Structures are given as structure tokens and as C-alpha cells.
Amino acid sequence: MKRRHFIKQTAAAGSLIGLGGIAMSTTSLVPKKHITILHTNDVHSHIEPFAANDPKYANQGGVARRLTLINSVRKENPNVLLLDAGDIFQGTPYFNFYGGELEFKLMSMLGYDAATIGNHDFDNGVGGLAQQMPHASFELLSANYDFTNTIMEGLTKSYRVFVKDGIRIGVFGIGIQLEGLVNKRQFKETKHLDPIELTDDMTRILKEEEACDLIICLSHLGYDYSNKERISDLKLAAATKDIDLIIGGHTHTFLDKPTITQNKEGNIVLVNQVGWGGIHVGRVDFHLDPIKGTEHTSTFYNI
Amino acid sequence: MVLKKITHLLFFVCIFTIFASCKQEKYNTTRVDASLVSIDRSIKEDTSITAFITPFKTAVDKEMDSVLAYAPTSISKNDSRYNTAIGNMMADAVFELVNPVFKARTGYTFNAVILNHGGIRAPLNKGDVTTGTAYELMPFENEVVVVELSGFQMKELFQYLAKGKAHPISNLQVILGEDGSLKKGLIQGHEIIDNETYFIATSDYLQKGGDNMTFLSKPVSLLTLDYKIRNVLIDYFKKYDTIAPVRDNRFIKE
């Protein structure tokens, strides 16, 4: 059963309007684009598949299989962005023994482009996280953890723009409130800033200054809570604008397909999360067409 | 004629270059597909990753499988009401192994221990007791903290225990009357004195309000010891050849 959504988008080709006919003739030379997003969340040090006697996830997951899958997708479409929504650490003795070194090295070998920080990534303190940073060839993105005066200062970025086949993809990270979840002795002077405020900053920068074609938020806020006061991915999606996809974590929510929801301007935002432990990889394919003049285009959500 | 053609061509190349270099081609998403890929046995392992993991796995397995002690019988947290052999072992291990650390740091010994029933994450099975056993019993990173509680807070602690769950305790005695109400609450054999304070070892999880043990949230003083509960268990298993704790009368109902 597939739900089919046809959504009208009012986005016009702002920067090309003035060029009129010339723009029309040049765009016809530009091919269509296809960007594939692969994502994980809450892998929790599950490097090997779950044990054969695991009551729930026997023989599922495993980093070595994940690379095989990623490579097959890359063969099909080289324009892949590989992302993780945090809680990379904690959950198997690999973390207790090696402090996250393996997790970061393996993610680098798999060619992850970026990840955000989950609460468990502080389990060995800001110092324990900083110690593993040399093993990460991917970006650690967080817009709303202020690491000033901690050893993590300068080791993360708020956002990063990836260019794949000419498409500008802005990715930023949003982390969960640490108070009450993580011992103060672990997060030390790290300040948690308001997720909505910082998301507004990020989307403005990525949309206006960086002229991104796609905006992706890596969030460790959690999918949804019964306490509706509490910030979650669904709340963040509704309270902000210009995000195309929120890749979530923390609540270990298994979504068999992304949730289609609306932002504060009534445009579509996708929110996805794929459980935990690396037993699934989420895949979202964006097909983009060059904008022709002032033409209105619609998006077909085949989800 | 030919020259004119070349000039023309050059002109177009220039125009094209100008457009290509200023780029800012804008794109609209026209179609989105999504799918969920399961990582299961149908996907072959990438051998470079497997080879990278192997030496780490060998080292971890060797450590996890190393035999520390022997258990003559299997024990679990559901064996009995009010107090269990496995819970008594955990609380007594904290009392016995953490007290010297606390004493070295403060000059005092703590009086008693309270943990939580839900914190016993697995049974202790008959046979070899390994490092892995300690990870199964206590997969979390919780560590021992010592709180200083007022006489009033101690009475709240006993009222909490009187609800009847077999939370692991050491050097506390709880006696419930036939109607289930708290009849006696003793610490190291003594009644609670109102204007006295007591040192209680517990986990950082419970101290921060876990399991609603709110009497631990605002202690008179607090000391964290950097001693993980799992490591307490590992050290306890290393210290004793045979792990055979028993149920006793520390928490009973008349």
C-alpha cells in the first residue's frame, strides 16, 4: 500500500526571474538531478549483528553488511549523502573497551559525511568525545550545543554545505537538552541552546546565504512525546520553515516510511527515524529539476 | 567568412562560460522516494570491515569470557519477595568494596546501601561467572554515589521501601507488619535518630530521581566516587571464588 501525495509548491525561480528568456534557454541544457540520502540513528556501538539468541533482533544489523548496502547504492547513484543522527556510542562492550574509537573509525571507513551528537555521545564526558575526534573523517554537526570553554570547542560545526552533482545540500545538527539526561560532570560547560531559535538561524543561513537546494536537519530531539510541551522532531518541523528532511534519533522510533508533515508555512517536511542498533538504514531519494523561469512546480511524494 | 564564424563561435562560448561560471542554477524537488532497508543476513558482509573488526572482537571476547568465579546455582531478582539473593549480593558488594574507597576519600565509612530492583538487568546463571556476566547484570554506566541523609530523609527512605518491592539493600533492616505497614526500619541495627545524619551509598541514577527515590534528590551532602557499579561487581567476582549469596531477613513481612 502506497500513499501518493501531490503537493503544489509555490517556490519560484527568484534569482533567475530577471534573466527571462536566456534563463529558459540555458536551463534546458541542465540535466535533472538525483540525490540519495542514506541515514542511521542510535546505532549504540552495535558493530556486529545482534546475537543469534537475541529475543528481538537476532542476526540483524552489523557494520560490515551496512557497507555492502551503501556501496551498492553508491554504484547505482554516486550522489549519496550518508548521515547519522547521534547516539553513536554506548551499548556494547566495544564502547566500554575502546571509548568510541571503533565506532568513529568504522563510520569513517563507511564514508559517512556527517553526524550529530546524541546524549550518549557524552557518556565518557566531553573529554571522551574530544579524544575520539581524530578518528572521525566526517563532520560532527551541532548548531545548538555551545562548547565554548570545553575541550570540544572548535571541533564541531553548526552546519556544512555538501555539493553533489551541483546540488547544494545544507545539513545542520540539533541536540537534546542535556540537563537531567547526562551528568553535569560529563557535559561540563556545554550549553544547550533553544532548538527552534537555532533552527531558524540555520535555515536562514542555508537558504539565503548558502543558497541551498535541499536542507536537512540531523536531530537528536526525539520523534514525538506525549508531553506536547516537550520539543520533538514533529514540533520542530511545525515551528520552522525551509527544512526538507529531519533525520531524527533518541526515541528509537521505527518508522517504515518518513512521516509527511507541514512546516509553519504549510510546506511539506519529511521526518524520518529508523529505530536503533543499525538494523535498518533509511533511504530518501530527492529528484530535482532546474527551475524554468517563473514556472511553478509540484513535488510528487512517492512515499 | 571563416573568421566571422569563429568570432561567432567564440561569442557563444563566452556567453556560455559566463552562465556556467556564475552558476546559481536553481532546482526544485519534483519527486521524493523513500524506503527502509533492513540490514539482515541477505546482505553479504564487506570483508574489509570484517577484517578490521576481527582483532578488536578477539580482544573483547577474550576479556568478556574470562572466568572470574563460579556460581553453584542460578539466582534471579524474581526468586523471592522483599529480598533476593542476587539483590543482597549487589548491595553487599557495594558496601564491602566501595566503603574503603569512601573512607580513603573522606575518613568516614558509609552506613548502608540502597539500589533498585529494576537495576538488576539479568539473572546470574549457574556455572562460570565471567566479566560478561557483570556486563549482563549491569549494562549501564551507573556509578556509586554517597549521599548524606537527614533522619527525616531516612524515614522517607523506609516508607518508600515499605511499598514492598525487593530493592537491594545492605545494612538496613525493614520489617513490615502483617497489614503491610512499616513496623521497623533499622540502620546497622539502630533506630533512626531525627537530628542525626547518615551516609548512604546508592547509584547516580537513583540519586538523580530515578525510580522516584525523591528522598535522595536533595541530600545534605553528596560525593561521587568514580566507581561504576559494574566494576564493583567485577571486583567482587574477582575477590570470591564462589558466588553463592543467600536470601536473609534484612527485609521481611511478619
Q: What are the chain A neighbours of B141 within 8 Å (beta carbons)?
A: 90, 123
Is B47 an interface residue toward A (CB < 8 Å)? yes
DSSP conformation class of A202: H
C-alpha cell at A258: 518518513
Work out the minimum CA distance from A157 to partner chain B, whole angstroms.
25
Q: What are the chain A neighbours of B40 within 8 Å (beta carbons)?
A: 59-60, 65, 279
Contact A106 B25 (CB under 8 A): no
Confidence (pLDDT) at A20: 34
Neighbour tally for A179: CB within 10 Å: 9
* Residue A13 binned pLDDT confidence (cut-offs 50, 70, 90): very low
> Taking every pair of C-alpha atoms in chain A, what is the biggest distance, in angstroms?
66
Q: Which of B27, B49, B136 to mutate to test the interface with A (most CBs of A within 10 A)?
A: B27
Contact A183 B59 (CB under 8 A): no
Contact B27 A291 (CB under 8 A): yes
Residue of B nearest to A293 (CA): B26
Q: What are the chain B neighbours of A8 within 8 Å (beta carbons)?
A: none
Mean pLDDT of A237-247: 98
DSSP conformation class of A254: B
Work out the minimum CA distance from B50 to partner chain A, whole angstroms.
6
Place of cell 554515589: B145
Interface of A with B in 117-176 (CB under 8 A): 123, 166-167
Contact B135 A96 (CB under 8 A): yes
Q: Which residues face B251 on adjacent strands?
A: B174
CA A135 to chain centre: 20
Tell me how far apart the alpha carbons of residues B9 and B168 are, in angstroms, rounded to a whole number: 87
Q: Which of B29, B140, B207, B224 to mutate to test the interface with A (most CBs of A within 10 A)?
A: B29
Q: Which of B163, B150, B86, B168 is nearest to B123 (CA)?
A: B86
- CATH-assigned architecture of domain B63-253: Alpha-Beta Complex (3.90)
Domain layout of chain A by residue ranges: 4-302
Residue ranges of alpha helices (H) inside B34-119 are 47-64, 85-106
- CATH-assigned architecture of domain A4-302: 4-Layer Sandwich (3.60)
Q: What percent of chain A has pLDDT over 70?
A: 89
The angle that helices A125-132 and A101-110 make with each other, rounded to 10 degrees, is 40
C-alpha cell at B131: 566479566
Work out the minimum CA distance from A131 to partner chain B, whole angstroms.
19
When CB atoms are compared, the residue of A109, A214, A303 closest to B52 is A109
> Taking every pair of C-alpha atoms in chain B, what is the biggest distance, in angstroms?
116
Burial of B190 (0-12, 13-18, 19+ CB in 10 A): exposed
Tell me how far apart the alpha carbons of residues A295 and A181 are, in angstroms, rounded to a whole number: 49
Q: What is the DSSP string of A278-297?
A: TSEEEEEEEEEEE--TT---
Q: What are the chain A neighbours of B36 within 8 Å (beta carbons)?
A: 255-257, 274, 280-283
Q: Which of A105, A114, A106 is nearest to A80 (CA)?
A: A114
Each residue's pLDDT expressed in tens, for chain B with a length of 254 residues: 555 665 665 555 544 444 444 446 789 999 999 999 999 999 999 999 999 999 999 999 999 999 999 999 999 999 999 999 999 999 999 999 999 999 999 999 999 999 999 999 889 999 999 999 999 899 888 999 999 999 999 999 999 999 999 999 999 999 999 999 999 999 999 999 999 999 999 999 999 888 899 999 999 999 999 899 999 999 999 999 999 999 999 999 99
Work out the minimum CA distance from A147 to partner chain B, whole angstroms.
23
When CB atoms are compared, the residue of B32, B60, B63 closest to A303 is B32
Contact B32 A289 (CB under 8 A): no
Place of cell 568478556: B64
Is A111 an interface residue toward B (CB < 8 Å)? no
**Reduced to 3 states, what is the DSSP secondary structure of residue B115?**
coil
Q: What are the chain A neighbours of B222 within 8 Å (beta carbons)?
A: none
Q: Which of B121, B100, B122 is nearest to B235 (CA)?
A: B100
When CB atoms are compared, the residue of A14, A68, A98 closest to B44 is A68
Mean pLDDT of A217-223: 98
Is the confidence at residue A285, as pLDDT, over 50? yes
Q: What are the chain B neighbours of A180 within 8 Å (beta carbons)?
A: 208
Confidence (pLDDT) at A53: 78
When the pLDDT of each residue in chain A is averaged and rounded to a whole number, the result is 90
CA B184 to chain centre: 31
Interface of A with B in 185-214 (CB under 8 A): 185, 211, 213-214
When CB atoms are compared, the residue of A9, A274, A283 closest to B28 is A9
Tell me how far apart the alpha carbons of residues B63 and A99 are, in angstroms, rounded to a whole number: 16
Contact A102 B24 (CB under 8 A): no
Neighbour tally for B253: CB within 10 Å: 15
* Residue A122 binned pLDDT confidence (cut-offs 50, 70, 90): very high
When CB atoms are compared, the residue of A65, A94, A106 closest to B43 is A65
Q: What is the DSSP string of A202-236?
A: HHHIIIIIS--SEEEEEE-S-S--SSTTS--HHHH
Is A84 an interface residue toward B (CB < 8 Å)? no
pLDDT digits (tens, 9 = 90+) for A123-132: 999 999 999 9
Domain layout of chain B by residue ranges: 63-253
C-alpha cell at A274: 529508523
Confidence (pLDDT) at B1: 53
Is the confidence at residue A230, as pLDDT, over 60? yes
Backbone angles phi, psi at A238, to 5 degrees: -75, -25
Is the confidence at residue A18, as pLDDT, over 70? no
One-letter amino acid of A266: G
Is B224 an interface residue toward A (CB < 8 Å)? yes
Q: What are the chain B neighbours of A64 within 8 Å (beta carbons)?
A: 45-47, 49-50, 53
Confidence (pLDDT) at A24: 40
Place of cell 540502597: B114
Confidence (pLDDT) at B140: 82
Taking CB atoms and an 8 Å cut-off, how many pairs form between chains A and B? 168
When CB atoms are compared, the residue of A11, A69, A285 closest to B37 is A69
